């Protein structure tokens, strides 16, 4: 049955329809439940080409940060952005990764108000066989590693990411020195754009598949504003709604993000050992031209400071509920005890779910977050997009 369906599809694509419509290939990559409607749909082919990339750096915070630069880059080049699955690293299986469809967490439709996008599952299931046949699969990297090859699939998550879609690269191109080096992703710049288009025209390179995100980390100030097109999926917002109804009795609340796990403590140690004016997501609170060293406590605040700062905000907003999102539950437990005496109730999500916690922070009257953390950065951008106030630990 499957064979006949595939054959029929092939005949339809190759003999019946004009070149710019595709009705699907034989391999189906499952989309998230919110987006099932797309499977098997007729989809127009973008003659300007596509951009694909592996979100191969960091976890959610980093991936979501670099997604904005990649979105902006794609619009500058006027190519459709293929929305990659999010890469997650299961705790129970160190050294491996899993690919989670983009639209499990973030809606596709609002993004298309800014630029043309398609999920990687939909692209691979419906268009790849025609637009990007195996002999056209060329990997793009900033610099070659050795033997004129990009390390597209070396190590985790690089290998598992492309293998998830059974993608093999036939050849490679390096673009760093052909496109103006450090400015390669500023595709709104006329010189940069024409360098990309001249070197890599869509006819020869229908898909530019990048080994990593074609966007800066941390996200540039102008691209941060694109967060207004980033909306939580129904899957996440449904969970948020339930939590606010059941655990907060729909009452007003303030939220705090405590990034305090052991990996973070070692990362913050860098600020004790070296003077740094920029560190990870720090431009979100210090801007791009900070001149003073960043104090350690901005990265890793003391529990006393957290207590005082939170109490002040709770009083200011006249709320008795404080939502805590954290990667270190022992800090939360100690704070819970301290706040009991203040008639303030600490609420958190149990079991923890990072995306749902972030989305809850997005709904609070006020949020205090970590300037250095890209996970916090997501909350800050979402709240800015909604004109909601946010402050940072240990910054006046």
Ligand X SMILES: Nc1nc2c(ncn2[C@@H]2O[C@H](COP(=O)(O)OP(=O)(O)O)[C@@H](O)[C@H]2O)c(=O)[nH]1
Helix (H, G, I), strand (E, B) or coil at 52: strand
- Neighbouring residues of 152: CB distance < 8 A, sequence distance ≥ 6: 54, 139, 141, 158, 162, 169, 172, 209, 211
Smaller CB distance to ligand X: residue 160 or 354?
A: 354
Query: With CB cut-offs between 5 and 8 Å by kind, which of ligand X, Mg ion, none does residue 375 bind?
Result: ligand X
Cα dist from 130 to 134, 284, 360, 363, whole Å: 10, 42, 42, 43
Supply the minimum distance, in Å, between the C-beta of residue 328 and ligand X: 9
* Range 251-268 burial, b when 16+ CB lie within 10 A, else e: eebbbbbbbbeeebeebb
Smaller CB distance to ligand X: residue 138 or 313?
A: 313
Count of residues touching Mg ion (by CB under 5 A): 1
Strand 43-44 relative to strand 50-53: parallel, antiparallel, unpaired? unpaired
Query: With CB cut-offs between 5 and 8 Å by kind, which of ligand X, Mg ion, none does residue 111 bind?
Result: none
Supply the minimum distance, in Å, between the C-beta of residue 41 and ligand X: 32
Smaller CB distance to ligand X: residue 310 or 326?
A: 326
Query: With CB cut-offs between 5 and 8 Å by kind, which of ligand X, Mg ion, none does residue 309 bind?
Result: none
Smaller CB distance to Mg ion: residue 140 or 378?
A: 378
Q: How far is the C-alpha of 360 from the C-alpha of 5, rounded, in Å? A: 44
Q: How far is the C-alpha of 296 from the C-alpha of 29, rounded, in Å? A: 45
Cα dist from 176 to 19, 69, 130, 268, 386, whole Å: 33, 17, 29, 31, 37
Contact positions with Mg ion (CB under 5 A) in 33-62: 58
Are 81 and 210 in contact, with CB atoms under 8 Å apart? no
Query: With CB cut-offs between 5 and 8 Å by kind, which of ligand X, Mg ion, none does residue 40 bind?
Result: none
Supply the minimum distance, in Å, between the C-beta of residue 378 and ligand X: 8
Residues lying near ligand X in the complex (CB under 6 A) are found at: 58-62, 257, 259, 280, 325-327, 352, 354, 357, 373-375
Query: With CB cut-offs between 5 and 8 Å by kind, which of ligand X, Mg ion, none does residue 325 bind?
Result: ligand X
Supply the minimum distance, in Å, between the C-beta of residue 376 and Mg ion: 11
Residue 124 exposed, middle or buried by CB count within 10 Å (0-12, 13-18, 19+): buried
Query: With CB cut-offs between 5 and 8 Å by kind, which of ligand X, Mg ion, none does residue 382 bind?
Result: none
Query: With CB cut-offs between 5 and 8 Å by kind, which of Mg ion, ligand X, none does residue 352 bind?
Result: ligand X
Q: Does the bond joining 218 to the residue before it have cis omega, within 30 degrees of 0?
A: yes
Smaller CB distance to ligand X: residue 66 or 130?
A: 66
Smaller CB distance to ligand X: residue 226 or 371?
A: 371
Residue nearest to ligand X (CB): 61
Give the footprint of Mg ion on this chain (CB under 5 A): 58
């Amino acid at each position: 049955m499957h064979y006949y369906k595939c054959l029929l599809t092939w005949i339809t694509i190759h003999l019946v329809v004009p070149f710019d419509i595709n009705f699907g290939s034989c391999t189906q990559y499952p989309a998230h439940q919110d987006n099932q409607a797309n499977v098997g749909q007729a989809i127009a082919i973008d003659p300007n080409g596509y951009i694909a990339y592996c979100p191969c750096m960091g976890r959610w915070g980093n991936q979501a940060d670099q997604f904005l630069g990649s979105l902006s880059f794609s619009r500058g080049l006027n190519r459709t952005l293929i929305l990659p699955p999010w890469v997650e690293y299961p705790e129970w299986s160190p050294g491996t990764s899993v690919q989670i469809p983009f639209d499990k967490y973030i809606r596709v439709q609002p993004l298309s108000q800014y630029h043309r996008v398609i999920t990687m599952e939909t692209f691979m299931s419906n268009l790849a066989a025609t637009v990007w046949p195996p002999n056209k699969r060329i990997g793009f990297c900033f610099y070659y590693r050795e033997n004129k090859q990009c390390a597209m699939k070396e190590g985790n998550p690089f290998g598992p990411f492309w293998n998830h879609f059974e993608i093999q690269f036939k050849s490679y191109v390096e673009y760093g020195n052909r496109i103006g080096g450090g400015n390669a992703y500023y595709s709104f710049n006329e010189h940069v754009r024409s360098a990309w288009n001249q070197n890599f025209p869509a006819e020869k390179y229908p898909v530019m598949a990048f080994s990593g995100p074609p966007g800066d980390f941390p996200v540039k100030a102008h691209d941060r504003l694109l967060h207004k097109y980033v909306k939580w999926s129904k899957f996440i917002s449904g969970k948020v709604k339930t939590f606010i109804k059941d655990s907060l009795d729909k009452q007003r609340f303030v939220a705090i993000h405590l990034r305090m796990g052991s990996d973070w403590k070692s990362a913050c140690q860098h600020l004790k050992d070296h003077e740094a004016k920029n560190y990870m997501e720090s431009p979100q609170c210090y801007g791009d031209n900070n001149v003073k060293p960043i104090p350690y406590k901005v990265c890793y605040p003391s529990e006393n400071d957290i207590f005082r700062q939170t109490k002040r905000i709770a009083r200011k907003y006249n709320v008795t509920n404080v939502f805590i999102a954290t990667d270190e539950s022992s800090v939360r437990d100690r704070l819970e005890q301290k706040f009991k005496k203040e008639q303030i109730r600490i609420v958190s999500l149990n079991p923890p779910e990072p995306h749902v916690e972030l989305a809850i922070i997005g709904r609070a009257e006020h949020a205090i977050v970590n300037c250095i953390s890209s996970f916090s950065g997501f909350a800050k951008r979402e709240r800015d997009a909604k004109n909601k106030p946010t402050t940072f630990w240990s910054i006046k």
